[in-house]
Amino acid sequence: MTKPTTHRWYENSVFYQILVGVFNDTTGEGIGTLKGVEEKLDYLQWLGIDCIWLSPFYASPLRDDGYDIADYRAIHPDYGTMEDFDDLIEAIHARGMKLITDLALNHTSMDHRWFQESRKDPHGPYGDYYVWGDDPNRYPEIRIIFTDTESSNWSFDEVRGQYYFHRFYKEQPDLNYDSPAVHKEVLSLIDFWMDKGLDGFRLDAIPYLYERDGAGGESLPETLEFIEKLRAHVDEHYPDAFMIAEANQPPAETREYFGNGDRVHMVFNFPLMPRLYQAVATSQASPIIEIMPDLLHLPPGTQWGNFLRNHDELTLEMVSGPERELMYSAYLPDDSMRAHLG
């Protein structure tokens, strides 16, 4: 007799992303709240949603929709309180649903206490929490992601008298993962939220944790090793938890985030997503058919997270120039509709 296969909760789940601040206003201030999310749970359950994904709701100056986190352990006051979050997670679980949240671990807001201390005292306890240097031309291989707003991955800080590295906006300095103290901080904040009953989290911008001269700064071996460290920690302390990676990379590199089933459980299917739109634009299935061989034969216990849209909108980083122009023509006829490469 064949032993029945045990399925993890996320394997056939329908996920629903919520940007708290624009979802449901309960105060009349024109801003969504955590209470607003709780108020709509019956509706979301009726829709067939198994798991809610909350985009950042942490304390933040909101220069990048909350992905510039100023305090990982605090709720943005516009969205509610920690008690509101505790009530929300209890209400979600009471309905048999799950909750995951975003964690931006590559960078913080420049308003974060760690950065403020790092810029003031290079030799203090936070001195090496960020990537500092004297040469703004270092790492020339590393591409600029926000090409329409940033001309460099380095910005000069007058307080410290050095340049700091940032893959995204200059208000979002990159954490230095060569610092053991940063590793300890990250594991501690994972524990903080998981101990509140979270079912997992999305690893935002996870390919960019490390930088190396001559090797660039995407999907480096050190980054993958840290993900294994994070997975081992989660498996030990929260064995039912789930991790999904935002790794907008070419298919071969994207697959690296699965490892041998010892890295993340799921990766957003960025290789497939733009090709779905290309197929619709051309009325041809060939874009989908051509990518499918790159998506097969995953390690046990892992899978792709298939999606159509999220807060990244229709990102077109991983298609060729002609394919991008085709989809600009089909979906973005007005230049004002474009952001970065999407």
Render 274-310 in DSSP notation, one character per residue.
HHHHHHHHHT-SHHHHHHGGGG--PPTT-EEE--S--
What is the helix (H) or strand (E) element at residue 181, kind and residue range?
helix 180-194
Q: Which of 55, 157, 173 is nearest to 108 (CA)?
A: 173
Specify the 3-state DSSP secondary structure of 75. strand
201 contact partners, CB below 8 Å, separation of at least 6: 100, 101, 102, 103, 190, 193, 241, 242, 243, 244
Task: Identify the residue whose tokens are 């108020």.
Answer: 39
**Residues identified as active-site:** 204, 246
Q: What Å distances lie between residue 243 and 27, 62, 136, 296, 301, CA to CA?
A: 33, 25, 34, 20, 12
Specify the 3-state DSSP secondary structure of 273. helix
